[in-house]
Structure 1
C-alpha cells in the first residue's frame, strides 16, 4: 500500500475522531458534520487510490489543503495547539506526502 493512501486514511480517521471529540466537548454540531464529511471524503479518496484511480489522490490533496487552511487560520486566531496546531502539522505532513506522490506519478 502506497504512503499517500495510508496518509489519507489516517488523516481522514483522525479528522472524524476530532469532530466527535469537538462535538462531545463543545456540543459543536458543525465540528461533527464538517469533520465527518471531510474525513469520509479522505477515506473515500484513499480507497479510490487503492483501486488505482489517480483522481483519488487529487481529491485527497484538495480536501487536505482545505483542512490545512481552515486549521491554520484557527491556529492563528486561537493560538491553541489542540486541535488546530496538531491538525495543521498533520495536514502539512499529509499534503507533503501527497505532493511527493504527484511528482512520482508524473515521472
Structure 2
C-alpha cells in the first residue's frame, strides 16, 4: 500500500526548504529541506513496499522533531519551525504506532 501521508510529509519538508531559500536566500534551509525531504520520501517508499520497514521514516521524523522543536522553542515562531515540529510529531507518532503494531 502506498504511503501517501509519508510522501505528503516529505514534499512539505522539501517545499519548506525551497521557500526558505526563495524568501530569505538561505542555502542552509534549501540543503536541509531537500536532504530531509528526500530522506523522508525514501522512508515513505520503503514503507510503501513493506509496512514493517519504518526505520528510515521514523528516524527522519524524530530527527526533524528534535531539530525543529528546538528551533521553535528558541524562536517561538510557528512558521516554519512550529509547523514542521507538529508535522514531525504526527509523523513520528504514526510510524511509531506502525512499528509497535507490527511487533
* Length-normalised TM-score, structure 1: 0.89
- Out of 75, 78, 87, the residue aligned to residue 78 of structure 1 is 75
Partner of 2:8: 10
Partner of 1:105: 102
- 1:53 and 1:72 map into 2 onto residues whose CA distance is 27
Partner of 2:46: 48
Contact 1:22 1:31 in 2 (8 A): yes
- 1:6 and 1:96 map into 2 onto residues whose CA distance is 16
* Length-normalised TM-score, structure 2: 0.92
Corresponding position: 1:95 with 2:55 = no
Contact 1:23 1:32 in 2 (8 A): yes
- 2:38 and 2:94 map into 1 onto residues whose CA distance is 19
Shift of 1:63: 0.7
Shift of 1:7: 2.9
